[in-house]
Structure formats: structure tokens, C-alpha cells
Chains A and B, each alone.
Chain A
Amino acid sequence: LAKTTQPISMDSYEGQEVNITCSHNNIATNDYITWYQQFPSQGPRFIIQGYKTKVTNEVASLFIPADRKSSTLSLPRVSLSDTAVYYCLVVRYSSASKIIFGSGTRLSIRP
């Protein structure tokens, strides 16, 4: 599975748009890019997943360029409750799909 690299931490302010970029240079053809959010003492919560181009749901957008070697999670108009750790993962959904977590990006939102 491709290893992912993302910033260790980021700071922003309420109401701003936050973009977290992740690199995954060795992504394979069948791999998906998946983002999870984790609050302290809780399990990771699925945010969004994509294969190529752009995916949008009610909480975030995911931008994936044509070469798929990187991806950007975009959180529109963040609030204090978006303070959390965000994990970028490359997932291969085979008969033995497992996911490998990195250290994630610790996002801190200030008032």
C-alpha cells in the first residue's frame, strides 16, 4: 500500500476554508483515497473518499489531480468543532483490505 505524507499540524480561524494536502506517490491503479477525522478518545470517523477528479459531500470536498499522486481535503468555513486529527489513507479494497494510518494532520481552529 502507498505511504501517505501530510502536514503534522495546521492552524486556521473560524469561518475560513481549510485545505489539507496529502501526497501518495506510489498509489496503485485500484487504490482509493480516503479521509478520516478523529476527535480525542473517539474512533476515526469517515469523511470522504474518492478515486479521481473531485468528490463533494455535505461536509467536505476532495480534489484529486489526474496523476493521483496527491489529494487535497477541503473543509469549507470551519468552526471550532472541526478541531481534530485528519488522516489521509490509501485503501485497496481487495479480499483482504486493510488500511495503514500515518500520524495524521492535527488541525486547530481558533475563534
Chain B
Amino acid sequence: DAGVTQSPTHLIKTRGQQVTLRCSPKSGHDTVSWYQQALGQGPQFIFQYYEEEERQRGNFPDRFSGHQFPNYSSELNVNALLLGDSALYLCASRQQGNSNQPQHFGDGTRLSIL
């Protein structure tokens, strides 16, 4: 049973470019959340998707957008990349209706902006 998988594992971009990161949730999970983790910091919540809609959003600009597909997989898009966007981007999934089951995390995509 595969856990949360993310692709790519590493990515290098330059300022001003756009990037798309991908996430496949753990089997049986229908809710996907995205987090940004800067070096030495805890993960920061970006947004959450359920039933193909953004349900919650953290304090991130509109340059950060996402999508959830009918198979529950998800994409994170970041436009007009800034140097400060360099971070580990984490995806987490859970089953919405399963009352107190915790989120499961993937190992992230390391994004470096030059």
C-alpha cells in the first residue's frame, strides 16, 4: 500500500518562472493539504483540497494555486517564483470522513530558486 507520493523530488528554477508540483494521496484518502517548509522551520500550511475544491487557505499569496483531480491527486502551482519560495514542499493526505485519523505526509519536493 503506497503512502503519499510526490514528484519531482528535486527541482531547480529561476526567478520569475512557474512551477507545478504533484501529489498522489495515500490509498483511501480523499483530502490533500500542501505545506511549505523553509530550512530550519516547521511546515507552514498553504491550502487544503477536498472534493476538487479549495477548502481552507493559509497566509500565502495568490501566486500559490492548486488543483485536485477526480482521482484525489493534487497539484500545487507557484507563479512568478521568488528567491524566498525556495523550500521543501510537503503534501499530506487523510480521509475526510474518518473522524480522528491523522494526516500522512509525503517526503516532499525540494524546490530551489536561483
Contacts and interface: CB of A to CB of B under 8 A. Distances in A.
Given A41-B88, A43-B90, A93-B99, A99 B45 contact: yes
A13 interface: no
Contact of B107 (A42, A91, A97, A99): A42
* Majority SS at the chain A contact face: loop
Given A41-B88, A42-B107, A43-B108, A98 B33 contact: yes
B72 interface: no
Interface string A76-88: 0000000000010
18 contacts: A41-B108, A43-B90, A43-B92, A43-B105, A44-B43, A44-B90, A46-B102, A46-B103, A46-B104, A87-B42, A93-B99, A93-B100, A95-B96, A97-B94, A98-B33, A101-B35, A102-B42, A104-B42
Interface of B: 4, 33, 35, 41-45, 48, 50, 55-56, 58, 88, 90, 92, 94, 96, 99-108, 110
